[in-house]
Structure 1
């Protein structure tokens, strides 16, 4: 089974996407299952994981309602308020839906690099662990140290690092100090068996006219660190289209991942992590 481990759907009229404004250009319109499913069908992809794009419980309920009507949505990663007292009860409510799999706070939008280490959030991470729910870590390189500390505190928490940790491909060269710091941080995180990584968003982190060579050093780091059993390919559609097309990113990723690892990286890892039927 081929799986796209990360994409987004939204409906502008819901009005809780603070980052979605007319300034975002072509992204400022509705993106519905009818827009995305033809792309999956064209490439033989059977399931996809839909990820929250707004920091509200209403967003999570919206995505779960879509999953009820569209079988290709194999898993939903929503949002909860990590600091709210009733978050464990909210997780119990959401978990009654058969495709709810975890949550994603929008960490990259929070100014405080150590936000995830706040004491008042501890109980939510414990609640996720106790319910076997996943935590999608939407981080940037500035968060690597904090995420390492979080993993140490919660060694049984199932964590997916989104978008390769968002390396600055357009500004870095393999071997420079920034690249090496990202490499070392990701390699250290990979030492924890409860951490997986999404091979996604490299196109939107790079300059235009990227090729397989643009990403080769990054994919090599991730394959070496996580291996095929803890690396999963994802499109990050429709954000991807800021600097690329679905078919091109899928083709380049297939070129860079060793063929013997394709079954896992392009399907089985996501199927196991998100328990996709």
Structure 2
């Protein structure tokens, strides 16, 4: 006898996000090859994380993935691109290059974006430093997206950058790292939303209380629309607060169903693989 609807087991977390979600923010690293100074000795994440580990954390199926830099090291880009070249589920790499210097980019690769976090992620002026703006313009001319790892006080500077380089596809990682729906975050997000070349990544949110996250998502969707919002689990960093499956499930439950296709695939594809 088949189960009745009321007795069926709940679907896996990935199923809630539709038939084929794309995780737009994943990290992997091998400590034999990476320095990762932000992971101090004894940190629970100071161990290797690989694509097989991601497969195990994803119910045995490697999800479609964008790999994102974790180290300010050009050699990491090579390692990530090698993974992308041999793994069909890795749809692209957001790698580290120094945007303050002349860009030397690999040809004919799966590089889809650059992330070069400013030394002070709270400084709005760092985003409009002339050398940084030149680097962003060069990345945009090369057809690459630019991920921005910032804190709320710097969001105003990101809005100015978006205006200065209107052809750049800018991606705000981790919702701008808010502690909650604070005034400086709201002000910065309103300014960013006025720039059509900015998208927002629902990533790095596993530590936030559900009530705060619900409000942050609602404000973001209202300002940007689902076609400018994408999901990233921030695995394995999310495991400090929850499993990857829980991060997907909670985000899915806080999104209107009409937003799922954009947030869990469409926006990332349009942004990173236009």
Partner residue of 1:2 out of 11, 21, 24: 21
Deviations 1:75-121 (A, max 9, x none): 10001112223x1xx12xx2421x11010012365675422222222
Asked if structure 2 preserves the Cα contact closer than 8 Å seen for 1:2 and 1:45, the reply is: no
* Unpaired runs of at least 5, structure 1: none
| C-alpha distance in structure 2 between counterparts of 1:112 and 1:222, whole Å | 22
Deviations along 1:9-51, one digit per CA (max 9) or x if unpaired, are 0010113322123232x20111011100233355x77411110
What is residue 98 of structure 2 aligned with on the other side?
81
Task: Give the equivalent residue in structure 1 for 2:227.
Answer: 229
Residue 11 of structure 2 aligns with which residue?
Answer: none
Looking at secondary structure, tell me which structure has more helix per residue: 1
The alignment yields a C-alpha RMSD, in angstroms, of 1.9
Q: Which residue of structure 2 lines up, in the alignment, with residue 96 of structure 1?
A: 108
Distance (Å, rounded) in 2 between the aligned partners of 1:75 and 1:274: 8
Q: TM-score, normalised by structure 2?
A: 0.87
Structure 1-normalised TM-score? 0.86
Cα distance, 1:56–1:261 mapped onto 2, change above 3 Å: same
Q: 2:213 aligns with which of 212, 215, 236?
A: 215
Q: Distance in 2 between matches of 1:164 and 1:157?
A: 18
1:118 corresponding residue in structure 2: 129
1:132 to 134, 143, 166: 143
Cα distance change, pair 111–181 in 1 and its aligned pair in 2 (3 A): closer
Number of residue-to-residue matches in the alignment: 255
* Aligned residues of 1:108 and 1:140 also touching (Cα < 8 A): no
Kept after mapping to 2: 8 A contact 1:67/1:73: yes
Q: CA shift at 1:260, angstroms?
A: 1.3
> 2:269 aligned with 1:258, yes or no?
no
Report the CA distance between 1:161 and its aligned residue: 0.3
Mapping 1:178-197, distance limit 5 Å = 179-197=182-200
Check whether the contact 2:58–2:245 (CA below 8 A) recurs between aligned residues. Answer: no
